[in-house]
Structure 1
Amino acid sequence: MSDKQNEFQLVLQGDKHDIDAKVLSETINNFDNLIAELNIELKPEYPISLRVQTFKEGSFEILFALFADPNINSTLFSLLSKDNLAIAGNIISTLADLISIKQFLGGEKPKTITKTGHNQTKIENNKGEVKVINSKTGDIIFNNPTINVTINNTFQTIENETNVKGIKFQSLANEKEVLIPKAEFENVIKSDPKLLEKEIAERIEPARTITKENVSLSIFKIVFDEKYKWIFVDAEGQKISATIKDKDFFERVKKNELYFTNGDIIIAKLEISQEYNEIAKTYENRGYTVIEIKDVKHQPTQTKLHS
């Protein structure tokens, strides 16, 4: 098991040391979607990315690590800040709890759900067993259909790999490893704590808008007319076009209080329009709007460029 708070391991248990490429890619993609959704639920102001660290011999071990956007000093994990590592640990611990709850309920609705105070929720399954969880985790598992469907998709994908006999989820962030044998996959896949799959589909919004704080965007194309879109490169290396709605930013540019050029990085409050993809069972980004520019980080040497 990793000894770092921002890492977790997913072990696909079995006798073989190889795996179908499609199963591997879809599993990694599903976990990437889960981390992104949990980031929105738990700490949207701190953008987090999921990275695959290494593959280890054993059954088939995948080492994941969560990192903050390296352009934002206040959230840089390499600084080993206690608070920043706690954010990663909280996301990983919550993910482990969500998988554990799905296993605990075994494909059935909970018998009782009781909020006990002290930020805790008590769940009783139909076998009379009781599990006490963090209230926020309970809110996510019962009210976030995207996370439920993505966990289901993950187990459905892994179930198709004949060499896998079970999975093990372990990290420093959660005290106990989550161990699920393949015989229990079917219950995890069909389980939704409160709703049938049809009801989940009805609850998923076809379109939504999310807001992220402190997003770093590298300037690729500058447009001084407020009506047109700028082009940026995000932390994942993807080009995006976005309208800037920050009027104060343009006023400061006109007064020569700000200067910038291609390659500079803005730290922004970013609004993202998303549409739900029924095939991929996840939200896709469709449009971007910069609501506020909080800072401009310049390249070491540059020529000033402004209106």
Structure 2
Amino acid sequence: MKQNEKSQKFTIYYDAKKSELSKHKIDAYALGSSILEMSKMIYEADRVINSTEKTIDLLVTAPVKKGSVAIEFVANFLNNGGMDVLKYIGLTAASSSIVGGSAIAVSQIIRDKKVLSIDSYSDSDEVEIKLNNETIKCDKTVAELVTNPKIRKAMSEVIAQPLINKEEPVFRIEVNNVETLRLTNENIVNIRPLNKDSFNSQESVKTLTTNVKLTQINFKSKNGWKMVYENEEKNVTIQDESFFERISHNALAFKEGDIFKVELTIEEKNTANSKRTKYIIKKVLRHRASKERKLV
């Protein structure tokens, strides 16, 4: 591990009355699958949460724990984003601070019910997951994880599969010898893959007034522009006709990196396997520049 990396150990336990698990034995296939699916779940969650670069590495050690089967993992954080991966999945003590619960907690509520839609609000970090006869409020990052089919399948394989048909099954997690999660009986059974018929397509449109920095310009087209929004560079389309005409005639007054107050529309289309976001500047309200260079 490099000097600037941090790490977190966590241990998962499988136990069940009158089974090989209580004798520190587990089916070889179940053990291998559990380790593989844990890595799939964490790496897919890392991609969802920190899409720009990998932030976490996962290693396995094999401590001997009496009376159950334990698998000890070591997560090396390549930067601070890696910490969020474990937190939002529900693998650390910090998971208890998430409003509405972690991905493991919310998955127990959703079970195998069909997800109809996810409704978000521009001024809130919470979203509403709509099922047939129920609405669940949770953190928007958690919602992304629990509606991701790869993560839900891996979660089921890690938690539920090794304990199928076991008497009084127990799945638990310890971090630094402190129990952070315990699931038994129905709670384990409720961890299931995402319903394959969940939202085939879900679209949302929100419009807000905000400041953006235009970093790539295109005087010949309304497409091909880029902006910095929420500290990330994104492609954006200009649909303000009057602004487009004004800059076309006053090219020298415009500089890449100028900040504008705009009416920004964000269109999102989500499916179970992909997410597409489109940014459109509907109207430019103000050019934050010196008086002689102001376009608006």
Question: What TM-score do the two structures reach when normalised by structure 1?
Answer: 0.47
Bigger-Rg structure (1/2): 2
